Amino acid sequence: MVLAAPVRPWPAAVVVVAEDEETRTVNRVRDALKRIGDVYAGDEQRPLRGYLVAMGTYGGLLSGLFGLGKATGARLPERFELGDTILLALATHKASRLLAMDAIASPLRAPFTRYEGPAGEAEVVESVRGDGLQHAAGELISCPFCLGLWTATGLTAGMVFAPRLTRVVTTMLTSVAVSDTLHIGYDGAKQLLHQVGE
């Protein structure tokens, strides 16, 4: 039986030099990114790393949706009908506002926000709390404008993968948005009549 000679690893000095060079490179990049963040933020604390995580998560979500579509053979529509686009727009508005501002959705936002007070029409005012990723997530989940992109992505993906169910959901959300508008208009008209009557 012939034993093979053991493979000699790189000389220790070469490994140490390579690790030192790698460590210096990582440190230089980290320092440069910190300087960029400090200059950008000025006197404020901005959770840039948290924003990067959110952007990476969104990119991963899109990649996952494309992969799922390819795996299931789902085909993108040639175009969306105007009616579907209107339903998606109104449903995106309502869903993102419900998630970001509605009192009932407070438990979803509680790990990232602090209750400040009522905002009227079943909505609340909350402030973002924490640092880093917690702060970035708080900004995202308590901002209807920020949630709009995520909500529109989910509903649009629904139109590709499950169009019938998504039309039911978007119609329901659109109905609630129109109903809310009518309630606010009705209350406003009552207050106006009350003021005129005085």
Rounded CA gap, 56 and 63, in Å? Answer: 10
Rounded CA gap, 53 and 114, in Å? Answer: 22
pLDDT at 197: 79
Residue 142 contacts residue 135 (beta carbons within 8 Å):
no
pLDDT at 19: 66
pTM of the model: 0.78
pLDDT at 37: 83
Instruction: Report the range of poorest mean pLDDT among 11-25, 71-85, 116-130, 169-183.
Output: 11-25
pLDDT digits (tens, 9 = 90+) for 142-192: 999 999 999 999 999 999 999 999 999 999 999 999 999 999 999 989 999
Q: With 70 as the cut, is the pLDDT of residue 73 above it?
A: yes
Q: Token pair of 36, please?
A: 């960029």
Q: With 60 as the cut, is the pLDDT of residue 56 above it?
A: yes
Q: What is the amino acid identity at position 104?
A: I
pLDDT at 138: 96
pLDDT at 150: 97
Q: Which position has the higher pLDDT, 91 or 29? A: 91
pLDDT digits (tens, 9 = 90+) for 58-71: 999 999 999 999 99
